[in-house]
């Protein structure tokens, strides 16, 4: 039996790592090993699947707690888990499936076919402009699809070659005594499918599914934030033998921008001003995230760190008509290289200004407090 790698080792974090540290490491590794960046590299593709599998567990507090306590046994089949509990008897679906199968009847999940095919994960990176406007991206995934040879039935004879399971009578489940409990488990004869295949298909060997690469169009809504997970129902692995397909979960990451920074629905833009512009006042043209431009008046005497608010120039709020704001943050840049004449003018200006509080109130006030501090100490 192959040894399974530790999820923390896969994501290259410690077991005490915070949720933010895990997320940051996941994004870095997912981008590095993404199949689109490593075409034809089977090793990178396998690594990408491991990374997504590990992150799917560790990003969820309850799943992570179960993994920390029980390890891989909490989510997979393979015999008795901690304390002698047989996880394998519940179909290997993990703790969530254990409770679903134990209490499914109470929650109204009676009878029917087995659970859907496996869910799959994918990652897509978009620009900040695409996050603002919304975009459609093609995502390439390797998954299992319905076998074309048998139309997903698993039999060379088609639907005629599939019979209702004689053990569970099509329910896909059988009842069994577990101590004081009566629990439901997947039928051992049909493995939860509710049907038995005769004359198995040679292409899929009776499973009803085959592995195939697919390209799926994913619509990413305007206003999406970094780290958003989009669910596409039924776009996961085909279940085979009539079992519905699983879901596709697309993890969205937004690339950093060279001009804008985002905080929720608000957008920030840092604009450097020359010293004379800040002192005399000016009007500057700045870009807006929607691709337009706007003019901002900078009053005379503007200080470094001042903010100017542009209402409604930020991101759209998901599922709302509201929009955030854009903030222009001013930084005053000090000249680094001066000509002889420029130096003379600045020296003249400094001599003229002197200690006049009207010219530099913060500077003058601070050094007056410093002087009072030393005089008080003496």
- Does the annotation list 269 as a binding residue? no
- Does the annotation list 190 as a binding residue? yes
Task: List Cα–Cα distances, 184 to 103, 118, 187, 287, 296, in angstroms.
Answer: 9, 20, 9, 61, 68
Vertex 109: Cα angle to 59 and 73 (nearest 5): 40
Q: In whole angstroms, give the CA distance from residue 148 to residue 143.
A: 15
Q: In whole angstroms, give the CA distance from residue 147 to residue 152.
A: 5
Q: 312: which DSSP letter?
A: T
Task: List Cα–Cα distances, 193 to 79, 89, 111, 185, 272, in angstroms.
Answer: 21, 16, 12, 12, 65
Tell how far CA 265 is from the center of its chain.
18
Handedness of CA 95, 101, 102, 104 (dihedral sign): positive
- Does the annotation list 168 as a binding residue? yes
Contact yes or no for 140/214 (Cβ under 8 A): yes
Q: In whole angstroms, give the CA distance from residue 360 to residue 363.
A: 5
For the chain, what is the radius of gyration of the CA atoms?
31
Contact yes or no for 184/222 (Cβ under 8 A): no
Looking up tokens 């990451």 gives 253
- Closest C-alpha among 95, 8, 13, 93 to residue 54: 8
Q: In whole angstroms, give the CA distance from residue 129 to residue 290.
A: 7
Residues at the annotated binding site for Zn(2+)? 147, 150, 165, 168, 187, 190, 201, 204
Which residue ranges make up the annotated binding site? Answer: 147, 150, 165, 168, 187, 190, 201, 204
């Amino acid at each position: 039996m192959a040894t399974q790698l530790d999820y923390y080792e896969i994501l290259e974090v410690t077991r005490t790592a915070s949720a933010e540290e895990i997320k940051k490491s996941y994004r870095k590794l997912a981008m590095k090993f993404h199949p689109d960046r490593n075409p034809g590299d089977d090793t990178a593709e396998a690594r990408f699947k491991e990374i997504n599998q590990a992150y799917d567990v560790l990003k969820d507090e309850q799943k992570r707690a179960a993994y920390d306590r029980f390890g891989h046994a909490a989510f997979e089949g393979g015999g008795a888990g901690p304390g002698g509990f047989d996880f394998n008897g519940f179909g290997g679906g993990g703790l969530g499936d254990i409770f679903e199968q134990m209490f499914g009847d109470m929650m109204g999940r009676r009878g029917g076919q087995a659970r859907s095919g496996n869910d799959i994960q994918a990652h897509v990176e978009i620009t900040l402009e695409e996050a603002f406007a919304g975009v459609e991206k093609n995502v390439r995934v390797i998954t299992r699809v319905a076998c074309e040879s048998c139309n997903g039935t698993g039999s060379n004879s088609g639907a005629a070659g599939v019979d209702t399971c004689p053990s569970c009578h099509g329910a896909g489940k059988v009842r069994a005594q577990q101590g004081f409990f009566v629990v439901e488990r997947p039928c051992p004869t049909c493995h939860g499918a509710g049907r038995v295949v005769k004359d198995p298909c040679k292409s899929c060997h009776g499973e009803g599914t085959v592995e195939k690469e697919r390209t799926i169009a994913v619509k990413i809504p305007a206003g999406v934030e970094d780290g958003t997970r989009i669910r596409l129902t039924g776009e996961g692995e085909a279940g085979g033998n009539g079992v519905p397909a699983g879901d596709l979960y697309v993890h969205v990451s937004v690339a950093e921008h060279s001009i804008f920074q985002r905080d929720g629905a608000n957008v920030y833009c840092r604009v450097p001003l020359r010293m004379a512009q800040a002192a005399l006042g000016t009007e500057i043209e700045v870009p807006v995230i929607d691709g337009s431009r706007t003019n901002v008046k900078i009053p005379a005497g503007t200080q470094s760190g001042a903010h100017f608010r542009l209402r409604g120039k930020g991101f759209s709020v998901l599922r709302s008509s509201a929009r955030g704001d854009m903030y222009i943050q001013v930084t005053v840049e000090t000249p680094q290289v001066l000509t002889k004449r420029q130096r003379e003018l600045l020296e003249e200006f400094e001599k003229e200004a002197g200690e006049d509080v009207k010219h530099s109130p913060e500077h003058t006030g601070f050094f007056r407090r410093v002087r009072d501090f030393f005089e008080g100490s003496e």
